[in-house]
Amino acid sequence: MLKYIGKRLLGLIPVLLGVSILVFLIMQLTPGDPALIMLGPKATATELATIRHQLGLDLPIWQQYLRWITNIFRGDWGYSIHYKQPVLDLILQRFGATMLLTAAAMIIATVFGVLAGVVSATRQYSFADRFMMTASLVGFCLPVFWLGLILQLFFGIRLGWLPVSDMHSPGVTALGDTLLHLILPAFTLAIASMATIARMTRSSMLEVTRQDFIRTAKAKGVSKHNIAYKHALRNSLIPVITVVGSQFGYLLSGEVLLEVVFNWPGLGSLMVSGILYRDFPLVQGTILFVATVYVLVSLGVDLLYAAFDPRITY
């Protein structure tokens, strides 16, 4: 197992290197001169030359990359033109909000998804099963930004039960207040993943139910409840773990959209405003950061999967 983890970690290096090169190159393609953006149109030629030299823009491109990546490792992620703050500070300030929303959605999606899947599988072809599977298909197809608006409209504006934007009420820092603000975006974000997890749980559980050891358990006289929960469910969760893990990327993607819908102060809205303000150091830093987190989490899921399934040997 340790050898496997080591191997996977080593395999991570070229991917992260590729990601950093891609992010660097993408930002090199951006139209406009960063020096000009920083100084404004009134800058003189000498001023421009000075700042270009300071930023290393007069170096060959591979040297610029080396310089950039060395700075990244040193914790210097550049300086946001719009927010006038170091990029890494901005990212770390907002990272918590993004992770809170993603984690909340992940938990909701997993709990309700598995529950719905179990109900469907144990009552195959019943009304509940059909309803759940139709609902999951609908949930899967709902554009997340539209669903967000509908829930805002209904629970926030019509019923007035829940706050529809921001992470806190102005001036309030209590945890309960944040949780209240979290409900709508987290549920919206969770719906599509919940649908996927429910379908996976159902089909995985149905497959396990057809296996010999379940028949043996029935023959031994194990109760229906114990067969469903102690035998079938446990064994069907292995593929479900992979699906749950694979949802992380979708959640992060949906998150970018939802942060704008719900005015949630996370990395997604930071990145979008970075593009709209043409704040390239900020965009570059945020993209690199999120991609790195994503790669690390995906690896974590793979390892978890390996740990859970005793059939996998290394």
Partner 1 sequence: MDDEKVVLGEGEQEFLAPEDAQTYEDALLQHDLEEDLAADQFAQRSDGAMPEAAEDIETVSMWRDTLRRLRRDKLAVASAILLLAVIVISALAPLIAPHDPYTVVLTDRLKPPFTPGHLFGTDQLGRDVLSRLIYGGRISVTIGVAAVLVALAFGIVIGLLAGYYKGFVDTVSIFGLNVLNAFPYILLAIAIIAALGPGLTNAMIAISIVGIPYYARIVRGQVFSLRERDFIQAERALGASDWRIITRHILPNCISPIIVAATLDVGWMIVMAAGLSFLGLGAQPPTAEWGVILSDGQQYIQNAPYISLLAGMMIFIVVLCLNFLGDGLRDALDPNLKN
Identified binder of partner 1 from the candidate list 249, 300, 307, 308, rule CB under 8 A: 249
What does the block give as tokens for 164? 């529809």
Q: Which of 35, 100, 189, 283 binds partner 1 (CB under 8 A)?
A: 283
CB of residue 117 vs partner 1: minimum separation in angstroms? 15
Contacts of 176 (CB under 8 A, 6+ apart): none
> Per-residue x/- mask for partner 1, residues 62 to 91, rule CB under 8 A?
------------------------------
Q: 273, 81 in Cβ contact below 8 A?
A: no
φ and ψ of 213, to 5 deg: -65, -25
Q: Which is nearer to partner 1, 125 or 219 (CB)?
A: 125
Are the CB atoms for 187 and 151 separated by under 8 Å?
Answer: yes
For residue 233, the SS3 value is: helix
Instruction: State which of residues 256, 262, 281, 301 lies at the interface with partner 1 (CB under 8 A).
Output: 256
Q: Which of residues 98-117 bind partner 1 (CB under 8 A)?
A: none
Under a CB-based contact definition with an 8 Å cutoff, are residues 252 and 102 in contact? yes
Binding test (CB under 8 A) with partner 1, winner from 83, 95, 140, 305: 140
Please answer whether residues 267 and 283 qualify as being in contact, where contact means their C-beta atoms are separated by less than 8 angstroms. Answer: no
First-to-last alpha carbon distance for the chain, in angstroms, is 6
Q: Binding of partner 1 at residue 133 (CB under 8 A)?
A: no
Interacting residues with partner 1 (CB under 8 A): 14-16, 18-19, 22-23, 26-27, 29-31, 137-138, 140-146, 149-150, 152-153, 157, 203, 249-250, 252-254, 256-257, 260-261, 271-272, 274-276, 280, 283, 287, 290-291, 294-295
